[in-house]
Structure 1
């Protein structure tokens, strides 16, 4: 049952990520990958909340591993960061990678604190 919940959650998460990516790429036409950045930072915060607030293993699997696992995307983060370097946009690549890591950790912590209050 847990695998089914993770799979269903993954569908919701990946469709949400895809939709947000499409909307942000149309809205902000720039070399900085805004969509993936927003997705990964908000996903880190939401995972912090889920990890601190949800004590039910099945619900945690559905929300954390399923939805948020499908929502966030490390592979796209690496792909876009590498392509920025390759495209001679080293400053954007550096900012994207460093800010994603620092803010990802910070927003996970913020989410964990919020989750602890729930």
Structure 2
């Protein structure tokens, strides 16, 4: 049953990632990969809330499989982050490559921390 929940979450997360990425990137006239940045930070925040809720017993393992592993796993994308960072570097946009790597890691960890903190505030 867990595999089915993961697959269902991923089936929703992958197209959501694509649509959000395209919508965000279309609004920015920049080489910076804003769409990937947005989905990765959103995924980190959602996963943080889920992990915090699971730690407090408020989020069952079935919901963690559906949303945490399935949805967030397909929504966020480390491989695209890596590819876009290397692409920026190779195209001579070294500042944006460094900015993308630095800000993505800091913001992703920060979003996860905020998510866990929110969960702890919601489910003490």
Does the alignment reach a TM-score above 0.5? yes
Aligned-pair CA distance for 1:96: 0.4
Q: Which residue of 2 aligns with 1:89?
A: 93
1:17 equivalent in alignment to 2:11: no
Does structure 1 conserve the Cα–Cα contact (< 8 Å) formed by 2:24 and 2:38?
Answer: no
Aligned-pair CA distance for 1:116: 1.2
Q: Which residue of 2 aligns with 1:72?
A: 76
Equivalent pairs, count: 118
TM-score (norm: length of structure 1): 0.96
Q: Which residue of 2 aligns with 1:40?
A: 40
Once the two structures are superposed, residues 65-85 of structure 1 have per-residue CA deviations (whole angstroms, 9 ceiling, x without a partner) of 001111000000000000000
C-alpha separation between the residues in 1 aligned to 2:78 and 2:115?
A: 19
SS at match of 1:32: coil
Where does structure 2 lack aligned partners over 5 or more consecutive residues?
Answer: none
SS at match of 1:29: coil
Does structure 1 conserve the Cα–Cα contact (< 8 Å) formed by 2:2 and 2:65?
Answer: yes
The structure 1 segments of at least 4 consecutive aligned residues displaced by more than 6 Å after TM superposition are: none
TM-score (norm: length of structure 2): 0.92
Where does structure 1 lack aligned partners over 5 or more consecutive residues?
Answer: none
SS at match of 1:8: helix
Once the two structures are superposed, residues 15-62 of structure 1 have per-residue CA deviations (whole angstroms, 9 ceiling, x without a partner) of 110001111222113100000001101111111001111431111111
